Amino acid sequence: MKIAIVGTGYVGLVSGACFAEMGVEVTCVDINQEKIEQLKKGIIPIYEPGLDEMVLRNYREGRLHFSTQLRDCISDVEAVFSAVGTPPDEDGSADLSYVLNVAHEVGQYMNHYLVVVTKSTVPVGTAARVKAAIQEELDKRGKNIEFDVASNPEFLKEGSAIKDFMSPDRVVVGVESEHARELMTKLYRPFLLNNFRVIFTDIPSAEMIKYAANSMLATRISFMNDIANLCELVGADVNAVRKGIGSDTRIGSKFLYPGCGYGGSCFPKDVKALIKTAEQKGYPMKVLQAVEAVNEIQKNVLFNKLNAYYNGDLQGKTITLWGLAFKAETDDMREATSLVTIKKLLEAGCKVRVYDPAAMNECRRRIGDSVYYAQDIYDATLGSDALLLLTEWKQFRLPSWEVVRRSMNRPIVFDGRNIYDPSDMQAAGFEYFSIGR
């Protein structure tokens, strides 16, 4: 079986490598020539554990190909997956120009029956527009070729992308023909051999499921952040509260961790886009508006605690950040809390020392040399007036507190992910502040 996947971002590259791993012959297409050249050498543009090895192996064994031209491989394939970006427009709605460009290109070059699958996160109604764009091009060419569109949103998480793709909780596929249904079943059966969990729906529902899932997860986080802030005010411990409510099977224990706000390429963008879609239909999504507002506040929670500690006078203070990425196991800094925090610290006149196991280059690319990029976690705390923990990397879990304490000017820790134990920190000689405890 042969397929093409357009877009070699997170979703496209991981899907391509994983389909190839199952024996499908995959061509990954991207308009970025340099990216394609790098991929052929096994150089992966993103940090994702295990991905480089899987890409290189499948490329060498001839199941994974790279190309800058969809037209070069389209006559060979049974399906074209579109996994190009849908960045937020200025008003928060998803920008569909890349998705529609791919559709036009498919229409321009296809010459046999194809299933055109949208994997990018796109608002309800996009598949219909993809279909219209393909048909428009076929009409221009005076060709009468059958095709189907399908919607197959992706739920993989950065940092565990391969694991998530190889053994998904479920696969969601929106289809409107038996042909497309059969093809998607064939493609996904190897991933779900013993427990086939492909949920087939109509296309608009499949498009909606992705937004609803991400919005629900973001809601849980903002809800817990709100509860955590209240816990501090009433003297409760949010960790105990989290365990207490999470053991109710109706609630469940996942995604109840309070912290210094959610970031990444999905939650912020998808929550905004769903609010926008609803607004266009004249329906205000009040819960999601609050989810977003709480998250904006939460991204400032560490800065505010620090600022309150120093009575609003941070001028000239040296502040350390452990963690820049929006979460552990990635170098991704999209919508990361660190960016908001660094900006606030610099505006307040602080000197900022940062360390992250993977995101140093990404940070330099974004903000240049306005902060000091430390060699390691201990270099980062040298002469520091406070340590802010922003990302829950394993590398930060068990430092030598003795070394940290001696290197700091004042031993204070603000833990934005609740990874340390308050009594341990006190015993190690630190003033310790966390979220909701």
d(CA 66, CA 34): 11
d(CA 399, CA 408): 14
Query: Is 327 known as a binding-site position?
Result: yes
Task: Supply the minimum distance, in Å, between the C-beta of residue 209 and ligand UDX.
Answer: 11
Query: Is 233 known as a binding-site position?
Result: no
**Taking CB under 6 A as the rule, does residue 242 contact ligand UDX?**
no
3-state secondary structure of 42: coil
Indicate if 28 belongs to the active site.
Answer: no
Q: Which residue is nearest to ligand UDX (CB)?
A: 266
Task: Single out the catalytic residue among 18, 231, 266, 350.
Answer: 266
- Judged by beta carbon, residue 19 or residue 257, the one nearer ligand UDX is 257
One of 28, 29, 73, 266 touching ligand UDX (CB under 6 A): 266
One of 187, 256, 350, 354 touching ligand UDX (CB under 6 A): 256
**Taking CB under 6 A as the rule, does residue 157 contact ligand UDX?**
yes
Query: Is 158 known as a binding-site position?
Result: yes
Query: Is 156 known as a binding-site position?
Result: yes
d(CA 393, CA 396): 6
Tokens of 380: 């980062």
Contact range with ligand UDX by CB under 6 A, out of 152-160, 349-357, 364-372, 375-383: 152-160
Contact range with ligand UDX by CB under 6 A, out of 14-22, 80-88, 165-173, 263-271: 263-271
One of 35, 299, 327, 437 touching ligand UDX (CB under 6 A): 327
**Taking CB under 6 A as the rule, does residue 262 contact ligand UDX?**
yes
**Taking CB under 6 A as the rule, does residue 264 contact ligand UDX?**
yes
Residues 399-428 within binding reach of ligand UDX (CB under 6 A): none
**Taking CB under 6 A as the rule, does residue 393 contact ligand UDX?**
no
Dump strand ranges (E) for 96-253: 114-118, 147-151, 171-174, 198-201
d(CA 166, CA 183): 18
**Taking CB under 6 A as the rule, does residue 257 contact ligand UDX?**
yes
Chain centroid to Cα 111, Å, comes to 36
Q: Which helix (H) or strand (E) holds 406?
A: helix 401-407
- Which residue bears the tokens 């993809």? 130
Query: Is 163 known as a binding-site position?
Result: no
User: What is the total count of residues that contact ligand UDX (CB under 6 A)?
Assistant: 20
Task: Supply the minimum distance, in Å, between the C-beta of residue 255 and ligand UDX.
Answer: 4
Angle at CA of residue 56, ends 120 and 31, nearest 5°: 40
- Judged by beta carbon, residue 107 or residue 259, the one nearer ligand UDX is 259
Least Cα distance to 228 among 325, 306, 295 occurs for 295
| Strand pairing category for 64-67 and 318-322 | unpaired
**Taking CB under 6 A as the rule, does residue 267 contact ligand UDX?**
yes
d(CA 113, CA 119): 19
Query: Is 281 known as a binding-site position?
Result: no
Angle at CA of residue 39, ends 38 and 41, nearest 5°: 70
Please, what's the b/e burial string for 199-228 (b: 16 or more CB within 10 A of its CB; e: otherwise)? ebeebbebbbbbbeebbebbbbbbbbbbbb
Cα distances (Å, whole numbers) of residue 382 to 15, 310, 353:
43, 19, 9
Query: Is 263 known as a binding-site position?
Result: yes
- Judged by beta carbon, residue 263 or residue 411, the one nearer ligand UDX is 263
Contact range with ligand UDX by CB under 6 A, out of 60-68, 111-119, 155-163, 300-308: 155-163
Judge whether 49 and 87 are in contact, CB under 8 Å: no
Residues 206-225 within binding reach of ligand UDX (CB under 6 A): 214, 217, 221
One of 25, 158, 207, 385 touching ligand UDX (CB under 6 A): 158
**Taking CB under 6 A as the rule, does residue 85 contact ligand UDX?**
no
- Which residue bears the tokens 């696969």? 171
**Taking CB under 6 A as the rule, does residue 255 contact ligand UDX?**
yes
- Judged by beta carbon, residue 214 or residue 407, the one nearer ligand UDX is 214
DSSP string over 335-394: T-HHHHHHHHHHHTT-EEEEE-SS-HHHHHHHHTTSSEE-SSHHHHTTT-SEEEE-S--G
**Taking CB under 6 A as the rule, does residue 331 contact ligand UDX?**
no
Judge whether 320 and 386 are in contact, CB under 8 Å: yes
Contact range with ligand UDX by CB under 6 A, out of 156-164, 285-293, 309-317, 376-384: 156-164
In the complex, the residues that contact ligand UDX under the rule CB under 6 A are 154-158, 214, 217, 221, 255-257, 259, 262-267, 326-327
- Binding-site residue numbers for substrate are 155-158, 210, 255-259, 263, 327
Give the active site residues.
Answer: 266
- Binding-site residue numbers for NAD(+) are 30, 35, 86, 121, 158, 269, 334
